Structure 1
């Protein structure tokens, strides 16, 4: 079993309205589709790296929106959305429905136009999905690894792991330190406060795992 991280850039006719909106002048660089219902009512939980007002603006163009609720936290804003349609193109929904792979949250929409997500399956099924999705957009394989049933040893999320990787690359953990939180933020293309929060949570997860193992 393989776990593959993919990034795809769709033609304009396939771009989701939330991604189209954050690609404009909103102070949001990413929106993450964290959870979605298996039913036709299209209940979803989004997260945006912006405040409540900006997030409300980002979802305002979703024509199928029936109800919404927003919860702001230190990193951004959660958006509970109930729609009567997912507003993804039929060709894409059919491809996802027919694929012999499983998709792991989050699905990340970036303001630069890329959609990033992870899929799990056997190599043959992943290869078939890759071929079919390539016909719909500009597809890139970013990472391939073995699928593990258990959580990673350090309990890190992908965003926390990316923050640690960025911190190492810019010299944040060098002795003496040669990089700053601002440098990490630049590498992640996020605010300094978000980068600092990601680093703190990542460090807490690693240290907790270490002390529990002892």
Structure 2
């Protein structure tokens, strides 16, 4: 069994309506589809890297939306969305339905147009899925590794990765320490408390991955 991470850019006709709104004029640069309902109704939990108003304005442009509830967090906004339809394009849904792989959350939508997602399956099944998706968009395989059921599928967010990279470049992890959380906050244009939280969450994710990999 293999665990693969993909990134794909679809032509406009296959872009999800929510991502199309991000690509046009939304302050939201990243939206993560964290969970989805196993039932017929399209109930999802999203995370948006913007405030409540930005998230609300973005999802209001999705025609199938029935209702939404938002909860603001330190780094962004969670959205519980109830829709009549998931609104993924039919050709894409056809490939997903015919595939012999399983998909792991999150599905990450970027305002640049790229979509990042992860899938698990046998090598032959992943290869066939790659061929089918590559026929629909510009597909890149970012990582392939053995599947470990104990490993969390969570990945660093763009902001967490930026915080770590900034901390390294400013000497925060040097011995003796040359940089500070305030330096990271200045570089990211955020508060010191937000920078500290970004670093703590990023460090926790990296350490869990390291310990889990043995």
- Name the Cα RMSD after superposition: 2.8
How far did residue 24 of structure 1 move? Answer: 2.3
Name the SS for the 1:8 alignment partner: strand
CA contact (8 A) 1:163 1:198 kept: no
Distance 1:133 1:207 in 2: 33
Distance 2:124 2:195 in 1: 37
- Tell me the TM-score normalised to structure 2 length: 0.83
CA contact (8 A) 2:107 2:116 kept: yes
Structure 1: runs of 5+ lacking an equivalent:
186-190
How far did residue 201 of structure 1 move? Answer: 2.1
Task: Provide the residue aligned with 2:141 in structure 1.
Answer: 141
Distance 2:201 2:104 in 1: 21
CA contact (8 A) 2:106 2:154 kept: no
Point out 4+ residue stretches in structure 1 off by more than 3 angstroms: 160-165, 175-180, 182-185, 191-196, 202-210
Name the SS for the 1:22 alignment partner: helix
Task: Provide the residue aligned with 1:188 in structure 2.
Answer: none
CA contact (8 A) 1:47 1:77 kept: yes
CA contact (8 A) 1:104 1:118 kept: yes
Name the SS for the 1:57 alignment partner: helix
- Tell me the TM-score normalised to structure 1 length: 0.83
Task: Provide the residue aligned with 1:159 in structure 2.
Answer: 156
Name the SS for the 1:201 alignment partner: helix
Are residues 208 and 6 of structure 1, via their aligned partners in 2, closer, same or farther at CA, if it must alter by over 3 Å? closer
Task: Provide the residue aligned with 1:47 in structure 2.
Answer: 47
Aligned pairs, how many?
202
How far did residue 172 of structure 1 move? Answer: 3.8
CA contact (8 A) 2:8 2:114 kept: yes
| 1:181 matched to 2:184 | yes
CA contact (8 A) 1:102 1:119 kept: yes
Structure 2: runs of 5+ lacking an equivalent:
none
